Amino acid sequence: MVDLDENYMELALELAALGEGDVNPNPMVGAVVVKVGEIIGKGYHKKYGGPHAEVFALDEAGKESEGATIYVTLEPCSHYGKTPPCAEKIIKMGIKRCVIATLDPNPLVAGKGAKLLENAGIEVKINVLKDAALKQNIVFFKYIEGKIPYLFLKCAITLDGKIATENGDSKWISNEISRARVQGLRHKYMGIMVGIKTLLGDNPRLNARIEGGNNPHRIVVDPGLKTPENYNFIQNNSDNKSIIITSKENIQSGKHLKYEKKYKVKFIFLDGNRFLMVDILKEIGKLGIDSILLEGGNSMISMAFKEKALDGGEIFIAPKITGDNNAIPFVSGFKIGTMKESIELKDTKFNIYGDNIAIEFSL
């Protein structure tokens, strides 16, 4: 039998997904108002700081909300944040029944919204398509817990696992369809991170080249502060989103002052010259960045695997073979005696992009 609640919640989840890349570090949320089998209001959270999904849906339904059911992918908020609490609005509009995919993990809300509704005599049903809702906002749920950004790997490798030739050439490993997909990933995550070698080698723009795409925060891990002034990373910073993570040892040179003042580059200073990914993530999290797309190269990726810091990733495989032991592998630095000791990717899923195949995974 068709479960109508699940059907409407599915629609609400689809609506929520429209906010992807625009609402961080808020969660994506969708809402649908239904009366006597008819959808009378739809809405989603469109933009960080803007109205919540429930507001759009209830305003569209208007007076017809009286006696209707509302479906929301996340528990309606009960606190005054950037906007008035949605739970109050639901009560005020005369909603009779509220179906919620999952309660809010935010300690400021945590079941309070549902309680408020129940106290007002509204029938509340929770955990409808909960898993799908949790998965949709996996970035949000991780970040809200410990302020550590969600770390997602993207890399393009040959069949023998190389990301560049010995002298650094990597143009191109993946095909055009794969590279277009990467632009979408850059829109989805709040930050994009590379190591200094990748920056020096490619002088990348690190922006989201899709229509209506949000540029991510650009982060380079550059212990020795070698980022050149004339590079895109410094010059193309009109959105003030370039961040350099460097050693405290570079403070006395004063080089960072020019980058800060003239180009508005942000700096994170860490102890020593070999950083830990966990420290890097902690500092980035403090800036309100909830998710990072890690774009390589070898030392950043190896560090992420070593520290088990990755939450997931998508590895694009091209049907090419270098056959060259000196070409640069995407991961190195491990020593294993048996195959059982190798790193196993979990929850794998395959995405086919023409003659490239990508393996999506969690860790």
Among 161, 184, 213, 312, binds a copy of itself (CB under 8 A): 161
**Cis peptide leading into residue 172 (ω within 30°):** yes
Q: Is 173 in the site for a copy of itself (CB under 8 A)?
A: yes
Closer residue to a copy of itself, CB minimum distance, 139 or 164: 164
Closest to a copy of itself by CB, 127 vs 348, is 348
Q: Which of 3, 131, 145, 160 binds a copy of itself (CB under 8 A)?
A: 160
Indicate the pairing of strand 217-221 with strand 191-195: parallel
**Other residues' Cβ atoms within 10 Å of the Cβ of residue 223:** 17
> What is the spatial distance between Cα 134 and Cα 142, in angstroms, rounded to a whole number?
10
Considering only residues 140, 141, 233, 330, which one is a binding residue for a copy of itself as defined by CB under 8 A?
330
Q: What is the largest distance, in Å, between two alpha-carbon atoms of the chain?
A: 70
Give SS3 for 10.
helix
Residue 66 or residue 169: which is nearer to a copy of itself going by CB? 169
* Residue found under tokens 């520290």: 307
Question: Which two structure tokens, joined as six digits, stand for 109?
Answer: 């809300």
Q: Is 360 a catalytic residue?
A: no
Cα separation, 62 vs 251, whole angstroms:
58
Q: For a copy of itself, which residue of 159, 180, 257, 278 counts as binding (CB under 8 A)?
A: 159
Q: Exactly one of 54, 75, 295, 314 is catalytic; name it.
A: 54
Contact 224, 273 (CB under 8 A): yes
Which stretch, 75-83, 124-132, 155-163, 191-199, contacts a copy of itself (CB under 8 A)? Answer: 155-163
Minimum CB separation of residue 317 from a copy of itself in Å reads 7
Are 72 and 101 in contact by the 8 Å Cβ rule? The answer is: yes
- If binding is defined by CB under 8 A, does position 158 make contact with a copy of itself? yes
Kindly compute the dihedral angle of the four CA atoms of residues 172, 276, 325, 319, in this order, to the nearest 10 degrees.
-40
Number of residues that bind a copy of itself (CB under 8 A): 51
**Which residues have a Cβ under 8 Å from the Cβ of 76 and sit 6 or more positions away?**
52, 54, 85, 86, 87, 90, 98, 100, 113, 114, 117
Does position 199 bind a copy of itself by CB under 8 A?
A: no
Q: Among residues 76 and 329, whose Cβ is nearest to a copy of itself?
A: 329
Residues 273-302 as x/- pattern, contact with a copy of itself by CB under 8 A: -----------------------------x
For a copy of itself, the binding residue among 238, 252, 253, 325 (CB under 8 A) is 325
| Structure token digits, residue 281 | 């993530």
List the catalytic residues: 54
Q: Which residues bind a copy of itself (CB under 8 A)?
A: 157-162, 164-167, 169-173, 302, 305, 315, 317, 319-327, 329-339, 341-345, 348, 350, 352, 355, 357, 359, 361
